Amino acid sequence: MDRLSDFTYTMESCNHCGQCKWILGPKMRGWKYAEICPIHQRWHYDAYSGQGLINIAEEVLNGELAYDDGLIDHIYRCTTCGACDVNCKSIRDMEVLETILALRAKCVEEGQGPLAPHKEYARCVEEEHNIYGEPHDRRFDWVQDGDPSAEGARVAYFVGCNGSYRHPEIARDTVSILSAAGLRFTLLGAGEYCCGAPLWRTGQIKAAEKQARHILGALNKLGIKTVVTSCAECYGAFRGFYPRIAPLGFEVRHISELVRDLLNEGRLKIARRLDVKATYHDPCLLGRLSEVYVPWNGKIGAYGRHDPPKEWRRGTYGVYDAPRMVLQEILGPRLAEMTRNEENSFCCGAGGGVADAFPDFALWTASERLDEAESTGAEAIVSCCPFCGSSFENAIGAGQRQMRYYDLTRLVKESMDGTKGGKE
């Protein structure tokens, strides 16, 4: 179920109820921050929404809508944040985001997409195994005190392109945390390539699959049982994309989950609480979109019955609690919540290739999110994804805001005492 034609049931079922645009009833909190879809909030037309995109997908599939540059631009304005999808699935059995991704894949397959910056991802990944086109042999330049890898470790820290080349402090802080807890882990070294998420989200499925196969091979070769990421995009790719290629032979954990467990086990200790009032931003691919993909190739029978039963990914079991529990330890009562949180989180604007193809819109989206963060009285916004971090840092700079951005790993590093446990 990955081709556009697999989603005709979704395309035919939509009745414009608007739930792909608006916050769910039980989560409503006020006039502001009630919209959940960035493109809809920015442009207002129904075509800019989950509903509109699946209407477009149907017309493209049926040959009723001809490709042109404007249409392709339109299809790629969506950040693929999945807010529409999770909200829709609260009430319907529809696959809104999968339909949007399949539409992009169809555009690529038919030579109509993606946009130029996305093609550049693919070229860079092909040549240098990272989306920035930086030299592959400098991927681990961020390592300062020697390779922390432990011989024969069954835990791998997968750093990701952004952590390796753009936010090396996240990689360093993560290593510090893992080391402080006495965890034996390894880096993949030359075997670490781009996880493929930016290719997957822009419809470049074959290129993404190539990355996945390489990484799965590298991990299997090392006998890895646990992959740790500090990047929500990588986390989302491992859990949401790789199972489409092959069954995962290892567990995938985000650093926030690991830190929570290490704190609970007493292997990490918070030495001091930080004096900052902060709010937490749920990254899409760590939150609502992080549930493991379970392939389903059944049939939809009379009255919507799925045979065999389908395991839905509705965002119910996203990673929401772990980062909050960690922040609660670090900040105490100074942790504030935004209205659009957890599965209703508003996108940072960076997803789906938007940051590179439509930087103005990415900036607008991040600014909207920062406004919401400021409305809680917070001085800082914390998240767990370097792409979200880049997006917020851009918007903070552009708006000359007082708000600060922290990756969770930085706050953990600053607050811990580095107790070593020595167990894996």
Partner 1 sequence: MSLPGGVYRELEAVVGPEHISDRPWILSAHRRPMPHTDRKPASPEAVLLPGSRDEVREIVRICNRHAIKYIATVSSVMPMAFPNEPGTVILHMKRMNRIVEINEEDRYVIVEPGVRHCQLKPELMKRGLSYPVASVGPGGSVLVNFSSSSGDHHTQHGTSRTNRYLLGVEWVLPSGELVNVGSLGSGAGWFCPDGPGPSLRGLIKGWGGHWGSLGVYTKVAIGLDAWKGPEVMPTEGHSPTYRVRLPEDRHKVFIFKFPTLDQLRDAMIDIGKAEIGHAVLKYFNASAALLATESANHFWDLWNSGSFREELTRPLYVYLATWSPEELQYEERVLMDIIKETGGEEVDRSIREIYESNMDFFIVVGFLQRVLRLGGGWSPAKLSGDSVSHMFEIGKAIPDLMNQFIEKGQILDAPDNWQVIPMEYGHLAHLELLFLFDRGRPGWPSIPLSFMKESAEADIKRGFHAAMPPGSGALMEQLGPLYSNYHVWARKIKEAFDRRNVSNPLP
The residue (of 24 and 325) whose beta carbon lies closer to partner 1 is 24
Helix (H, G, I), strand (E, B) or coil at 193: coil
CB of 305 to partner 1, least distance (A): 6
CB of 86 or CB of 373, closer to partner 1:
86
Q: Which is nearer to partner 1, 45 or 271 (CB)?
A: 45
Minimum Å distance from CB 5 to partner 1? 16
Return the closest-CA partner of residue 251 out of 232, 230, 228.
Answer: 228
User: Per DSSP, what are the bridge partners of residue 227?
Assistant: 156, 252
Question: How many CB atoms neighbour CB 414 within 10 A?
Answer: 15
Which residues of this chain interact with partner 1, rule CB under 8 A?
9, 12-19, 21-31, 34, 44-47, 49, 51-52, 55-56, 58-59, 64-66, 70-71, 74, 86-87, 89-93, 300-306, 309-310, 312, 314-318, 320, 342-344
The DSSP bridge partners found for residue 299 are 307
Rounded Cα distance between 157 and 175, Å, is 8
- Minimal distance in Å, beta carbon 6 to partner 1? 16
Q: Which is nearer to partner 1, 15 or 402 (CB)?
A: 15
Handedness of CA 268, 317, 298, 82 (dihedral sign): negative
Residue whose CB is less far from partner 1, 190 or 294: 294
**Least CB distance to partner 1 at residue 285 (A):** 16
| DSSP calls for 106-140 | HHHHTT----HHHHHHHHHHHHHSSTT---GGGTT
Q: Which is nearer to partner 1, 69 or 275 (CB)?
A: 69
**Least Å from the CB of residue 345 to partner 1:** 12
Q: How far is the CB of 237 from partner 1 (least distance, A)?
A: 22
Query: How many Å separate Cα 405 from the centre of its chain?
Result: 17
Specify the 3-state DSSP secondary structure of 380.
strand
Is there a contact between 268 and 325 (Cβ–Cβ < 8 Å)? no
- Contact (Cβ atoms closer than 8 angstroms) between residue 87 and residue 20: yes
Structure tokens at 357: 């193809």
Q: How far is the CB of 106 from partner 1 (least distance, A)?
A: 14
Q: How far is the CB of 340 from partner 1 (least distance, A)?
A: 12
Contact 117, 72 (CB under 8 A): no
Q: What Cα–Cα distance (Å) separates residue 79 from each residue in 61, 275, 365, 420?
A: 21, 34, 10, 40
315, two tokens: 């965002």
Is the Cβ of residue 141 or residue 360 nearer to partner 1 in the bound state? Answer: 360
Beta carbon nearer to partner 1, 181 or 232: 232
